[in-house]
Amino acid sequence: MKQLIECVPNFSEGNDMSIIKQITQQIESVEGVKLLDVDPGKATNRTVVTFVGEPDAVVEAAFLAIQKAAELIDMSKHTGEHPRMGATDVCPFIPIANITMEETVEYSKKLAKKVGEALDISVFLYESSATDSRWKNLANIRSGEYEKMASKLQTPTFNPDFGPKKLHVRAGVTAIGARDFLIAYNVNLNTTSVRRANAVAFDVREAGRVLREGDPITGKIKRDADGEAVRVAGSCKAVKGIGWYIEEYGVAQVSMNLTDIKATPLHKAFEACCLSANARGMRVTGSELVGLMPLQVMLDAGKYFLKQQNRSTGVDEAEIIKIAVKTMGLDELSPFDPKKKIIEYLLAEDEHTPLLDMDLRAFANETASESPAPGGGSIAAYVGVLGVSLATMVANLSSHKRGWDARWEEFSDYAAEGQVFKDKLLHLVDEDTKSFNGIMDSFKLPKGSDAEKAARSAAIQSATKYAVEVPLQVMQTALATLPLIKLMATIGNPNSITDAGVGAMCARTAVYGAYLNVKINLGGLKDQAYVQKIEAEANELLQKAMEMEAAVLVLVEAAM
């Protein structure tokens, strides 16, 4: 499995698109990385770039981008609303798949060393990469911003990890490190007052606010026995925030970094801002995502808001995301396209799913054509999709049935379970056709020499084994839907009991259809121990499916 690192460098240019393009072209020139997002901000004069790839490729792409930014951006002439200290202000690495934080730290150090030595830029390691505890917090490095960096670097306590102990006048200072996934998120207020936006930010952010004697703005700072400023913590853990005014939009915002989305999910930060704003006579009018977010963040938010409405969360993923977008007003300032803002959707752009991309008529026409694929395996998987979709429909109808209000959450959970099965079976529709095509491709391999014949034979066996395993997954998944279908026939909305019955027949057909594909593909395998094992499992799955279908149909017939 590939190791994947996400890199989110912040460049101090948000207005000149030709400069931004030259920087991102460096990233795109490296094989093994995918540019996911480029998010320029005019008022902040800053662009957040997101790309993902295998570790060594990410290091190379990041270095080339930092090099180009140092060439094109002159920090001595830079102004912007956002705190900054370098042409490449920060360059964090985030572990995404099959890689630990410790490994990610080592790659960040590899990049930092190269930048410091090759580009003569002062580099500080921050967050999880920090070698000095002070630098775990980026704000401690960036305080005073670019304008104070020259003098700070002359002090004995401000020592970069790599590069010179003097300011690179054009490129400034850069922080490189590894961190957990961070969401940059701004909440819009119906005010133009930075002071009032800051008041909300102080209510919400973990660091809270410093207590003062008398006047909360001008009063003397309260200090404890050790002389440290006394602070009142904000309501949200792992949230950093400030208030600012965005001239581009004519509104004040609470600008936040959510550094641990488990501690404070996006929707909780949004609600905390709403509570604070309301208490201070203001209103939250919407919000803005800077950069990208994981899919689960949006699903958690959408489900949270659906539950607040006592509505089922067992609806399609797109509907859950729509609820999240509308509730948090993520589309207030500009259109919010989930395909461009959610990491998994951007990565899925390269995934080939021709069958799922068809409408019903096109799918039927393709099945009926002279092409051998899609065949019975893909059709079996799709029939399974229809079966569990019917059960999910019954659960959702039951969740919203008048007079059943006390049980809405129970049926919502059943519907959500059905959605999981549905999505897995949908994936297997295209996967079965891919497995068939894999066999066909292996038969086309050259067989002129003994070595080629051996390689071709091994490829055929491998492809055939995969063509067994895919329909076996269809069998396993479709069978797993039958307990849910039976439950909906037993306790679900009685007006929909026949829908549960049809769902059971579809599920059994999916199991039986996939069984036929397992059997025929087993005939092409030489590994007889594997053949016997899979055949025994398939027979058992089919028998259970037939028994469960019969049990559901007894319930349906008895109710009519």
Other C-beta atoms closer than 10 Å to the C-beta of 215 total: 8
Other C-beta atoms closer than 10 Å to the C-beta of 262 total: 9
For β-strands 173-178 and 122-127, DSSP reports them as parallel
Asked if 291 contacts 8 with a C-beta cutoff of 8 angstroms, the reply is yes
Selecting among 89, 161, 203, 432, the annotated active-site residue is 432
Upper half-sphere CA count for residue 32 (Cβ side, 13 Å): 13
260 classed as catalytic: no
82 classed as catalytic: yes
Other C-beta atoms closer than 10 Å to the C-beta of 360 total: 7
For β-strands 173-178 and 88-97, DSSP reports them as parallel
Q: Quick one: CA dihedral 144, 146, 147, 149, positive or negative?
A: positive
Selecting among 39, 78, 82, 300, the annotated active-site residue is 82
Other C-beta atoms closer than 10 Å to the C-beta of 81 total: 19
- What tokens appear for 266 in the block? 């996006």
Q: How far apart are the C-alpha atoms of 517 and 478, rounded to whole Å?
A: 14
Per-residue exposure over 176-192, b if at least 16 CB sit within 10 Å of its own CB, e if not: bbbbbbbbbbbbbbebe
Backbone angles phi, psi at 3, to 5 degrees: -85, 135
- What tokens appear for 398 in the block? 């039951």
Per-residue exposure over 36-59, b if at least 16 CB sit within 10 Å of its own CB, e if not: bbbbbbebbbbbbbbbbbebebbb
Q: Quick one: CA dihedral 310, 313, 316, 318, positive or negative?
A: positive
Asked if 481 contacts 421 with a C-beta cutoff of 8 angstroms, the reply is yes
Asked if 255 contacts 243 with a C-beta cutoff of 8 angstroms, the reply is yes
354 CB-contact burial (10 Å; exposed 0-12 / middle 13-18 / buried 19+) = middle
Other C-beta atoms closer than 10 Å to the C-beta of 147 total: 12
- Segments of 386-429 assigned E as strands: none
Active site residues: 82, 432
